[in-house]
Amino acid sequence: MSGGGGGKGKKGRGGLGGKSRGHAPVASARLEGLPVEERGVYEAEIIGLSHDGEGVGRANGFTLFIRGAVPGDRVRVRVTKLKKSFGYAELVDLLEPSPDRVAPPCPIYDACGGCQLQHLSYDAQLRWKRQTVVDSLTRIGKFAVRDDGNGEGIVVHPTWGMDEPWRYRNKVQVPIGERDGGLVGGFYAQNSHDIIDMEACLIQHEQGDAVVNAVKAIGRRLGIEAYNEATHRGLLRHVVVKVGFSTGDIMVVLITNGDVIPHRESWIRGIRETVPGVRSICQNVNTEQTNVIFGDVTRVLWGEAYIYDYIGDIRFAISARSFFQVNPVQTEKLYRQALDYAALGGSETVIDAYCGIGTISLFLAQRARRVYGVEIVGEAIADARRNAALNGAGNVDFAVGRAEEIIPAWREQGIVPDVIVVDPPRKGCEPSLLDTMLAMRPERIVYVSCNPATLARDLRQLADGGYTVREVQPVDMFPWTVHVECCSLLVRK
């Protein structure tokens, strides 16, 4: 199964009866004085979850991280690896299940490395994700945190979940391998590059499953070889499928280790006949020895170069390499919250740093006088300009470059923002951008984050620089995984 974060690194987990974290017993110097031993079997009470979804247990007062355990479980575990102050263990027996434990519906959950929390009830996931945000704000940011009631500190709201938290991903991105002389496709097993072949993924759109299964079947019939990482031989590396939830448009991208696709017309005919709704079939060429999925060359094999989808009432053109949020239902909630926090009345100037293909910018443009978006990826800015034209948004300007360089240049041109919106990658904002934002002194800053730890770090710098962090709204963009998105409001003191 594919986890969240839009292509960001994922870790798996061993469910009950599944694989352990991968910390196999190793020959090491014995750690004296610890209340547990490597390979020893102990009972443990699970008192929490780690940031990557492992159960946090206490055995003889010693902290152990245990894949597949959830808070409230009483378990028997075998210690696999020890450090001075904590260790890792594998789940041997479930002695008393937590009331929050559920049976994972996915048949390959224990093997697949995409989801981490299918054995935890959805309500419990939402509570844990809020607590993850609270813990980061208090421990890393040194903030006081409160609920919606009275008191001092940042208000951290309950996590917004989904009414239907399945089949939410609009993008499928799977590696292809070979087994028994035929193609297999699925996600990597935890802590490895072993492909777990799958027929269906419960967090992805059904049409994505249909396309992947069709590609595997066609490839087997035509004798296509999968790419081999070790030998750098073979043709088919990945299959990427993008689905327009609102439009029904489907794009298929075959990522190949070479320019020539044997039996090209058979591929095209087979995909079109098997999966109605396909509007675009593309090839991306990646001949590099790398884990990066896409190469630099993309060509259309059949149909159009773009498919289309909506977030709210804004239409977006999506190309093979466009970044587009993978959960359109929750994305609309997240962006509307960002728009509410911006509190625009129609006369404001807004800067959208890390603007990508213009998704947030176009939401802001509905209520702002002028929006300026900046993004370091030139291809994304080309998409952003195309999307602005597609929606008739004449009050948006986009620039390619580093935000910490472009924004001061705008200031020299007399562009002074009332609001700055940032939506950085997992590593957070560059320190120089935070300094630039503080120098620009907007009335409000809206910080959208996919990583509570770097969010807390950056909010501390902004708070020390003269801003009050009012509130944070967690949003569950990736149910059944450990990831959580946040939208935060800062107001100038």
Alpha-carbon span 323 to 184, nearest angstrom: 26
Alpha-carbon span 441 to 418, nearest angstrom: 8
Element (H, E) at 412: helix 403-412
How do strand 62-66 and strand 87-96 relate by DSSP bridges?
parallel
Element (H, E) at 196: strand 195-197
What strand order describes the sheet that includes 236-243? 195-197, 182-188, 171-179, 236-243, 250-256, 278-285, 297-303
Question: Angle at Cα 479 formed by Cα 477 and Cα 484, nearest 5°?
Answer: 45
Which of the residues 355, 450, 486, 487 is marked catalytic?
450
Contact 359, 316 (CB under 8 A): yes
Element (H, E) at 273: helix 264-274
One-letter identity of residue 123: D
Alpha-carbon span 377 to 401, nearest angstrom: 7
Among 129, 115, 134, smallest CA distance to 161 is for 129
Contact 309, 324 (CB under 8 A): yes
Phi, psi (degrees; rounded to nearest 5) at 80: -110, -25
Alpha-carbon span 251 to 221, nearest angstrom: 22
Residue 98 in tokens = 């937590």
**Considering Cα of 132, then 136, then 139, then 144, what sign does the dihedral take?**
negative
Residue 381 in tokens = 């800015």
Contact 407, 440 (CB under 8 A): yes
Alpha-carbon span 126 to 120, nearest angstrom: 10
Active site residue 201: no
DSSP state letters, 74-123: EEEEEEEEE-SS-EEEEEEEEEE--TTB-----TTTTTBSS-S-TTB-HH
Alpha-carbon span 262 to 447, nearest angstrom: 48
DSSP state letters, 417-456: -SEEEE---TT---HHHHHHHHHH--SEEEEEES-HHHHH
- Torsion, Cα 101 105 110 111, to 10 degrees, reads -160
Active site residues: 450
